[in-house]
């Protein structure tokens, strides 16, 4: 309900101020001066974010849907533990294979295409698994999981692109963290709910009934998200939310395979980004390997504590979601991207050393505490690392940047998991943890070597000479600054 007087630095421009339903200041194009851009952030941006978080949660939930109850699934479907592991491992394998085609399609067709594809593939995958609840239909489980894993190449890379497309510059990092929060929430619920729903009953009919309930809950739960995306999820708002976005729209070119490959070349030849990409990949790879191998790690020190291992995984992710959200707010306030990344990396390495010591003391309370703090740092690095990469590569498309670093991190995740699993079996948990500490130390050094070149902030700061002042609501006039 307010109008604003706009003063554009030292430039002599005539602007006319208006107020819309969102009470957001807006620069409206003056009929006598086409150089003035309309800058506006719509309230509906929060609806877009909420819809994304909702369907991302359902997609990421299905990552550990079966592996978290491996013993029950093995008995019901009469398959090996390796076969059950594939229901989760395929998520890490599908990403590197399809990340470049999906990034090209997202760049060319936009956010709405990505949202529709990701949401409906999640729904289709969940629906396919409705036909998998017979003991002889484990292959249908794998088909359903493959479809859901394919949906994630259109989901996991969206938070930074969605943030800069719809939100103000001082909200970008927080929004990116909220988007990552949705993924982590899905993983946390995936650890928590399946063991509560799928009971280890002697009767296979009872297990089949509980699996059916789980499949129906997922299939029906994602339908509202599909309806919401179809109803309203545009490629971009009518007006850009920042001057940087306005400039990007002016310079936008049609996305072709040639321009897409050129953007990939620019990313790969960006030395700062390559160092950050490897550092991010090491951190995420440790996160994936540690989460996968947490059960044998804990059982080697606390025999029979399988339930504790599951709870420790849940605690790690829950504290990590808090860390990711707080880091997003911190980055929006300070814009200290490199410093924050370095601090998180150092904290992760120190916490893993502390965890190793606590495991030697065989104190469950201390192990719970150190795993919680370790999860806080390790998960907080996900949005911080993505945001730093976006800063280093601006004006490259955010979905392409995120897709590339996630492809590397997923590849390293599979590699670390297989190697550390073998080390754990042959040499024990102690040496597996020591190797992870060494890898985090390498990542810390790599983060220190990344140049602090914040390209996106420089673009945002071009609008710092814009000054907003309130004027009486009844007045409507043009002012020369």
Answer with the residue of higher pLDDT: 138 or 191. 138
**Cis ω before 205 (30° cut-off from 0):** no
Backbone φ/ψ region at 450: left (φ over 0), alpha (ψ -120 to 50), beta: beta
Residue 7: is its pLDDT beyond 70?
Answer: no
- Among 146-155, 278-287, 298-307, 467-476, the range scoring the smallest mean pLDDT is 467-476
Q: Which residue has the tokens 């719509």?
A: 42
The first and second tokens of residue 190, run together, are 């995936």
Question: CA-CA distances (angstroms) from residue 309 to 117, 142, 295, 298, 398?
Answer: 35, 26, 5, 6, 36
Q: Is the pTM of this model over 0.85?
A: no
- Average of per-residue pLDDT values in the chain: 81
Q: What Rg do the C-alpha atoms of the chain give, in angstroms?
A: 24
Tens-place pLDDT, residues 42-89? 889 999 999 999 999 999 999 888 887 878 888 999 998 778 888 888
Residue 388: is its pLDDT beyond 50?
Answer: yes
Please name the residues in contact with 306: beta carbons below 8 A apart, sequence gap of 6 or more. 295, 298, 299
CA distance 291 to 312: 10
Tens-place pLDDT, residues 86-99? 888 888 788 888 88
Average pLDDT over residues 371-398: 86
Taken in order of first residue, the domains within the chain and their CATH numbers are 39-252 (1.20.1250.20), 253-473 (1.20.1250.20)
CA distance 240 to 217: 38
Q: Is residue 35 very low, low, confident or very high in pLDDT (cuts 50, 70, 90)?
A: low
Question: CA-CA distances (angstroms) from residue 14 to 2, 35, 68?
Answer: 19, 10, 62
Neighbours of 438 (CB within 10 A): 11
CA distance 303 to 187: 25
């Amino acid at each position: 309900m307010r109008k604003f007087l706009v003063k554009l630095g030292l430039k002599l421009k005539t602007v006319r101020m208006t107020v819309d339903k969102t009470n957001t200041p807006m620069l409206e194009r003056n009929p006598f001066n086409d150089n003035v851009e309309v800058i506006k952030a719509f309230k509906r941006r929060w609806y877009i974010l909420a819809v994304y978080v909702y369907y991302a949660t359902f997609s990421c939930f299905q990552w550990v849907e079966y592996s978290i109850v491996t013993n029950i699934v093995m008995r019901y479907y009469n398959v090996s533990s390796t076969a059950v592991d594939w229901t989760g491992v395929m998520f890490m394998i599908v990403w590197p294979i399809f990340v470049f085609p999906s990034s090209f399609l997202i760049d060319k067709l936009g956010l709405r295409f990505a949202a529709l594809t990701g949401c409906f593939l999640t729904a289709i995958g969940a629906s396919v698994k409705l036909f998998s609840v017979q003991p002889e239909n484990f292959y249908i489980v794998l088909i359903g999981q493959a479809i859901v894993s394919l949906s994630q190449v259109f989901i996991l890379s969206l938070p930074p692109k969605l943030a800069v497309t719809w939100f103000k510059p001082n909200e970008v990092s927080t929004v990116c963290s909220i988007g990552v929060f949705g993924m982590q929430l899905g993983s946390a619920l995936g650890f928590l709910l399946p063991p509560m729903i799928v009971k280890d009953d002697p009767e296979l009919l009872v297990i089949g009934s509980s699996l059916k309930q789980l499949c129906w809950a997922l299939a029906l739960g994602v339908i509202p998200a599909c309806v919401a995306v179809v109803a309203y999820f545009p490629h971009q708002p009518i007006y850009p939310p920042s001057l940087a976005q306005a400039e990007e729209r002016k310079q936008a070119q049609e996305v072709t395979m040639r321009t897409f490959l050129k953007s990939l070349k620019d990313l790969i030849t960006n030395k700062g980004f390559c160092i950050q990409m490897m550092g991010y990949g090491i951190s995420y790879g440790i996160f994936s390997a540690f989460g996968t191998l947490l059960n044998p790690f804990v059982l080697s020190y606390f025999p029979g504590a399988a339930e504790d291992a599951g709870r420790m995984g849940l605690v790690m992710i829950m504290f990590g979601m808090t860390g990711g959200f707080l880091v997003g707010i911190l980055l929006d306030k300070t814009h200290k991207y490199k410093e924050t990344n370095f601090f998180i990396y150092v904290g992760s390495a120190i916490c893993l050393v502390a965890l190793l010591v606590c495991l030697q003391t065989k104190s469950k309370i201390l192990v719970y505490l150190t795993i919680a703090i370790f999860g806080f740092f390790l998960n907080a690095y996900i949005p911080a690392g993505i945001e730093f990469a976006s800063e280093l590569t601006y004006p490259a498309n955010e979905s392409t940047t995120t897709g590339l670093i996630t492809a590397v991190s997923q590849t390293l995740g599979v590699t670390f998991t297989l190697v550390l699993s073998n080390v754990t079996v042959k040499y024990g948990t102690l040496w597996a943890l020591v190797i992870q500490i060494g890898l985090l130390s390498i990542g810390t050094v790599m983060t220190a070597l990344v140049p602090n070149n914040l390209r996106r902030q420089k673009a945002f700061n071009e609008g710092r000479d814009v000054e907003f002042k309130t004027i009486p609501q009844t007045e409507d006039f043009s002012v020369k600054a």
